[in-house]
Each structure stands twice: as structure tokens, then as C-alpha cells.
A and B are shown apart, each in its own frame.
Chain A
């Protein structure tokens, strides 16, 4: 009887199986003009770079092709090295999986400030009770042969 039927667990709902249940396509993304260079730097040199708009006095991390505020195209001279050390802007400790199960080992996630931007990443070599907002951290990169040019080339951030 549709919504009048009292069903409290969605697995108890009857359903029609139309024979299709998933998107039959995957996405293969490009990192973009700025992103390509940003990730190549991480992969090749184990370093973090951004782009700076002098007019707006903002340094974007991850690097961007343009300043969103004034629409200036950020060019060769606007690329800046921001180093591998950042400051924790905020953090969380994740206890549940997407399925709602309790994680054996909670994940420590932080928003880490670099110049005027942030990277979201895992924390490592750091206990839950040690982390604090304002903590100085540094990137721990994977060994160079294992890097693929992605955000996971940084294994985690750790206290400085």
C-alpha cells in the first residue's frame, strides 16, 4: 500500500528488479592545466606549489589556473613554492564507515593550511589526543617509485 505500509527497515521493502542496478560507465578525469603541474611537482620533487594573485594578495593551494576573485590568468611568474609544512586549521576523527560500522582504527583527518589554501588529508604518526588546531605538521611522501601523481602520493601529514 505504498507509503501507508509501515516499513521501518528499507531492506524489508519489496522491489522490482529491472535487471540494471549500477551506472555502466566510469569517469577518467584530467587534473587540468594547473593541477597537472601541481601533482607533477609532488610526484617528481616531493614538494607543494601554489599560484599567487598579486593583485588580490592570495596564494592558492592547490594551484589554480586563474584567480577566482579578479579572473586574472595566473602565469609562469605567479607559481610559488609553499613548502611541505602547514598548520592544522581543523580536524576530525572518523569512527564509522560508510556502511555504518565502527572502524577498527579511527581515521584522523585534518584541514591543513598552506598559504591561503588548504589540503584535506590524513594524519599519521600522531595520536588522537595529541592533535590540536594550530599544530604545525609536515607532509610524509610515499617513496618516489610509488608515487603516481595524485593526492595519495602524500601518505599522510605528521607533527613537525
Chain B
């Protein structure tokens, strides 16, 4: 397999409701990514794009619908969809296209427009559950995350205050991100005092509903070296499906991620991820998930994560910064685009181009992760310089 590098990145602002159509959002991110590495559409060999359920944009077969906004006119295009894991998975998908030798330059684009759904996108999540045994109870994602959060807290004796610390960390980081849809810092008290959605989940434990798009340009080694003197290499990729029944596993530990992470680290030649990785972008649609996923990523010993967080280990200037972008909690959560946003962050951080958000100490290795489907799929990308 050939070595593959990220050579360009682009992001729209993440907003609550965009005037732009899903195609137009995709165009903005794609154009920015192309401009960032001085390429035109003629230079692109193929497009690997991703977007979460069709229902969000309100257009079935939205892979085809989005294609021209992703630069897919008259090119081989292929869409992946693994729910929330789509963003990082789309980069794995694009990596295959280039690593295989089939294409030299591949555009990876993800988009989501959540605001079309009225009254709320959560309504569409009802339809991802088993039609006979679960849907009759009207479950939504807040429900099942609440069950998982409760189990996770109970297992290690964590409190809601502990979980809120992750929200505060990520949202504070996100204030420095130009694409963030937030402008105010929050405190642990704010999280605890926000309204209960489904106990133990309160409103500020959760990432927002967002519209947005993100794109990266991938290139094979010799091409990447011609295009930039600072390629960011994809060192490892991994993805796993846990059981297809969301409720038949122990909810306290993300086993779906355990294997995906080990797969990516093995490919990257990483033996001690907690010591070798400099930046982590765990998937954080909820505050507890950031911590849960740090454990699944083998970046924190199980049950010790809150202690490390309290000690500043995961702060921007800590030993292992967690979500320096701000993550989904701090930047926003246009589902598939949020995963690529994390890859964009690794790209900028490893190149030393993250501006105010720059992690000190010349980081060399980063990991990004996303999680989706009905809670059982994870995808992982390790990048390095």
C-alpha cells in the first residue's frame, strides 16, 4: 500500500441554520480545501464523500445529490455512511482510494444540514431503532446516551460534575475556533443547572444541532511531497462494528472503539498510545463520551480519566490535549462534517497552523475518532508528521 498524506483542509462555519443548501455548504468547504493547497478541480482524481442519514438533508440518495458540490462532476465518486462515525470513516474511505494505487489525489468531503428537520432532527433518530421491539417506546438518542452515561458513571463512581468538566474543557477550546457556533464560556455550574433532557443528561452535556461541511485533500506520497513541504501522513486507520444490537453489550466501555483503535495503532507502529500520541480528538457528542472514548482509544486508564482531566492532563497545555478544536461540544455537530473537522484540526495542529488554538510542544502524532450507527461503530485515523 502507498503512503497517503493530507495536503489541504477546508471548513465552513458551523451554524444553527444556514441559508446555503447542502450542495452549497459542500462547495464552500471543498473550494476552501482546494484553495488551501493550490489545486483546481482538474487535479482531483476522485471524490470520497460522506453524509449521515438522508433524512437530515431531507433528500434520499443524497450521495448523488451532494456529489457536484463535493467536486464530483464527471469523476468517480463514492459515498460512505456509518452514522456519526461517517466523518472519520470518510477519510478512511478516501485513504483506501489512494493507498490502493487507484488514484493519486482524492477529495474527502462531508456535509450535514440538520436544521431542515422540524421540529427537531431527533425525530429522525426514532426510525433507526428496531421497528417492532423498540420504536413503539419512542426512544431517541438522548434516551440511550442517558442509559450509557448512567452506567459509565456508576461503574467508576463518577458524578455529573465530573462529566461536566469535559464539557467545560471542550467548549472553552472551541471559543478559539473560527468555525465555532458558540461565543460564551460555560462553567460546571452552568452544565449542572441546565435543564434535564433525560437523566443524567442535561442540555449542556450535549453538543448542539448544526449545519456545516468540511473537506480534506488526500494525495499519494510522491504527489504530496510535490504539493507541500508539510504533508500530514495518515499513519494508521481502523474501524469496527461491535454487536448490531445496541443494548446487548456492557455500556460502560466502548468495545467498538477498542478494536478500531488497536488496528490503527498497529498499522502506525504505535505500542504505547498514551505516551506516543500528542493530540487526541475523541468523538464528543456528549461530555461523558469524550472521556469514555479516551478510554476506548487506550489514551487513559479505565476509571482514571476524570482524575487525569482534573489534573490538567487533557488541557491544551497538558500532556495529552483532548479536543483542542473544541470538538462537537465546542465547535458544533453537523454530524458527518464534525468528524472531518477533527481531521482538519490534526492537520492544522501538526503543521503548526492552528493559530490561537495551537498546542504547544511541536506535536507530531495525533488521533481522531468518531462513533456512530446505533452506538456500535467506530472509526479511527492516526496522523503524523
Q: Which residues of A contact B (CB under 8 A)?
A: 16, 18-20, 23-36, 65-66, 68-71, 73
Q: Is B136 an interface residue (CB 8 A)?
A: yes
Write out the residue numbers on chain B whose beta carbons fall within 8 Å of the beta carbon of A71. 27, 30-31, 34, 40-41, 71
Complex interface: chain B residues within 8 A of A69 (CB): 41, 73-74
Decide yes or no: A23 and B132 within 8 Å by CB, A30-B21, A32-B23 being known contacts.
Answer: no
| B interface residues, how many (CB within 8 angstroms) | 37
A selection of 26 A-B contacts at a CB cut-off of 8 Å is A18-B131, A18-B135, A20-B138, A23-B123, A23-B127, A25-B55, A25-B117, A25-B118, A25-B121, A27-B58, A27-B117, A29-B21, A30-B19, A30-B20, A30-B21, A30-B116, A31-B21, A32-B23, A33-B21, A33-B24, A35-B21, A66-B31, A66-B69, A68-B68, A70-B42, A71-B34
Q: A18-B132, A34-B24, A70-B41 are known contacts. Are A25 and B19 too (CB-CB below 8 A)?
A: no
Residues of B within 8 A of A (CB): 17-21, 23-24, 27, 30-31, 34, 40-42, 55, 58, 68-69, 71, 73-74, 116-121, 123-124, 126-127, 131-133, 135-136, 138
The CA-CA distance from A24 to B34 in the complex, in Å, is: 39
Q: List the A side residues contacting B21 at CB < 8 Å.
A: 29-33, 35
CB A80 to nearest CB in B, in angstroms, measures 19
Q: What chain B residues lie within 8 Å of A68 (beta carbons)?
A: 68, 73
| Cα separation A53 to B356 with both chains bound (whole Å) | 38
CB-defined contacts of A18 to chain B, threshold 8 Å: 131-133, 135-136
A20 and B131 within 8 A (CB) = yes
Taken together as a complex, chains A and B put the C-alpha atoms of A146 and B68 apart, in Å, by 33
Contact A32 to B20, CB < 8 A, known contacts A23-B55, A66-B27: yes
B88 to chain A, nearest CB (A): 25
Complex CA–CA separation, A20 to B123 (angstroms): 12
Asked if residues B24 and A27 are in contact (CB atoms below 8 Å), the reply is no
CA distance A30 to B18 in the complex (A): 8
Tell me, in angstroms, the Cα distance from A71 to B21 when the chains sit together. 16
Residues of chain A lying within 8 A (CB to CB) of residue B124 = 23, 25
Task: Let me know if A24 and B135 touch, CB within 8 A.
Answer: no
The complex places the Cα of A65 from the Cα of B30 at a distance, in Å, of 13
